[in-house]
Structure 1
Amino acid sequence: MQEPSALGRVVELVRDLRMRCPWDAAQTPATLRPYFVEEAMELDQAMRTGFGERLRDELGDVLLHVAFQIVLAEERGEFGSQDLVHAVERKMWRRHPHLFEEDGTPVDHTVDVGDVRRRWEVTKQRENGGLRPSILDGIPPGLPALLWAYRLQEKAAGVGFDWPDADGPRRKVREELDELEAELVSDPDRERLCDEVGDLLFAVVNLARKLGVDPRAALEQANEKFALRFRKIEAAADRRGLDMHAAGLEQLDELWDEVKRSGDSQ
């Protein structure tokens, strides 16, 4: 008897859980959705901050959820693990015509990254029956705003709507900041301020993209740095018997500068 694949073993495990565990038996796609999202976020965190065992464990949690959805689909008579794997194979064959014939036969055509992206978009549009009215419709709905901005800019750049280098986005950031400052001195309402702040954030994301910096990773790093320093401020205030709520901005700024001078590794 052939040993089941790694994915097959996880699917078999979920089938067993569904038969013998009341909690697992009660689950539906809807009830599992928040757990799946949570596990995906934990995997994202592991990919950003560490590898090895932690990454393995988080990948395993996501794989378990994938297997769970496969079993639920089997129970509904929709598809099984082999159907899913075959669908992935066929999709990748179609979207890599420089590497495969449509039946998966390997070929070898020399292309650059730009060609690969263009072929990918053409193939995706063909898969949708050519009905996609905009290249932007390929962006999944519900993305976090920062990632959505990045993907919009990336898609537009894919058809040549982009600056040749980072100088254009850099000037655009300054332009948007000037517009925000002009709005601030003109007794603005909240809607206009929101519009100008949004334009500035969008421009900063575009600058990061042109610099080859992942804006989400950069913001996460800044968040972590701020949180680390703020906790050190709290510790310093506690050592001095200082009430953070009662301390004024001047005292807190002094502590902040002290923490910055001491470095973030302490």
Structure 2
Amino acid sequence: MARLRNPETGCAWDQKQDFYSLIPYTIEEAYEVADAIERNDIQDLRAELGDLLLQVVFHSRIAEERGLFDFEQVAAGIGEKLVSRHPHVFAGVTFTSDEQRQQAWEAAKAEERQQKHTDDKPQSVLSGVAKSLPALVACEKIQNRAASHGFDWPEVEPVFEKVKEELAEVHEAWQSGDQAHIQEEVGDLLLVAVNLARHLKVNPEIALKEATKKFSRRFNYIEKQVEATGRQLRDCQLEELDGLWNEAKRVQKNTHPNNP
């Protein structure tokens, strides 16, 4: 990377990159790692992890050129963080439950966030959540932060009731015709749905991705059935398409038994 960035003998494209220009590539490579894992393509996973590592090297080299930090400091920093966040492995601490371990993990992270600031002002529990995170991921992370400090329902049943309450408020907003109000209430519904997922020990991002895949499989089935009749989807009545949807559910239940 140092050679590629050399202003005299390197690559013109690599030379002109900076932290900001690399943002989309870094995000893309992370998603491609996730995609390889979901497809269980181990060879591709190895390659994609290399592509992601390249982004770390690239950013580190730019920082080194500016006298900020280098790759060795990046690696050392994560090593120190892993040690401090795992006292039960490196410091002889004993946790009696997963909840206790999670609380210690969050406490360590909170202390790290506080140490990042030179002033004496206490930082919010929610500080440090990246603004560029996908909305669903950010929502879960923020709720986990709040929950780790006691702001959470102790049981799941009230969360079900809150989902019903928010759904009713969406319907009420829809009846009002106020689009801004509708958007606000839909946001509240999505937020409490993420909360329900947390209480049910379900990762909402993964759950939504799997649901979207399931929808796509069923919709593709409908497309093929309609195409076999020489028609297009717009030529069919909704009742017929809905019938094909139910047929797709029956057919694909055998192929994907975990997605009825």
TM-score (norm 2): 0.84
Distance 1:52-1:142 versus aligned 2 partners, 3 A rule: same
Q: Deviations over 1:48-70 (max 9, x none)?
A: 44252222111110001111122
Give 2:2's match in structure 1, choosing from 12, 15, 38. 15
Mapping 1:27-38, distance limit 5 Å: 27-38=17-28
Q: How many aligned positions are there?
A: 246
Mapping 1:91-170, distance limit 5 Å: 91-96=81-86, 98=87, 106-111=90-95, 112-113=100-101, 114-129=103-118, 130-170=120-160
Range 216-225 or range 235-244, more displaced: 235-244
Give the corresponding residue for 2:197: 208
The reply to whether residue 259 of structure 1 matches residue 243 of structure 2 is no
Give the corresponding residue for 1:77: 67
Give 1:68's match in structure 2, choosing from 58, 71, 76. 58
The reply to whether residue 177 of structure 1 matches residue 161 of structure 2 is no
Give the corresponding residue for 1:230: 219
Q: CA deviation at 1:99?
A: 5.8
Range 174-183 or range 233-242, more displaced: 174-183
**SS at 1:37 equivalent:** helix
Q: CA deviation at 1:145?
A: 1.3
Distance 1:55-1:255 versus aligned 2 partners, 3 A rule: same
Q: CA deviation at 1:213?
A: 0.1
Q: Given residue 67 of structure 2, which amino acid in structure 1 is its aligned partner?
A: G
RCO higher in 1 or 2 (8 Å CA, sep ≥ 6)?
Answer: 1
Q: CA deviation at 1:120?
A: 3.0
Q: Deviations over 1:163-220 (max 9, x none)?
A: 11211211111111122223334x3311111121111111111000000000010000
Distance 1:65-1:124 versus aligned 2 partners, 3 A rule: same
Give the corresponding residue for 2:177: 188
Contact 2:4 2:10 (C-alpha < 8 Å) held by counterparts: yes
Contact 1:99 1:108 (C-alpha < 8 Å) held by counterparts: yes
Structure 1 gaps, min length 5: 1-13, 101-105
Structure 2 gaps, min length 5: none
The whole-number CA distance in structure 2 between the counterparts of 1:193 and 1:154 is 26
The whole-number CA distance in structure 2 between the counterparts of 1:173 and 1:216 is 18
Identity rate, percent: 37
The whole-number CA distance in structure 2 between the counterparts of 1:133 and 1:220 is 33
Give 1:197's match in structure 2, choosing from 173, 186, 192. 186
The reply to whether residue 217 of structure 1 matches residue 201 of structure 2 is no
Q: Given residue 108 of structure 1, which amino acid in structure 2 is its aligned partner?
A: G
Contact 1:177 1:200 (C-alpha < 8 Å) held by counterparts: yes
Q: Given residue 225 of structure 2, which amino acid in structure 1 is its aligned partner?
A: A
Contact 2:114 2:123 (C-alpha < 8 Å) held by counterparts: no
The whole-number CA distance in structure 1 between the counterparts of 2:18 and 2:81 is 27
Q: Given residue 37 of structure 1, which amino acid in structure 2 is its aligned partner?
A: I
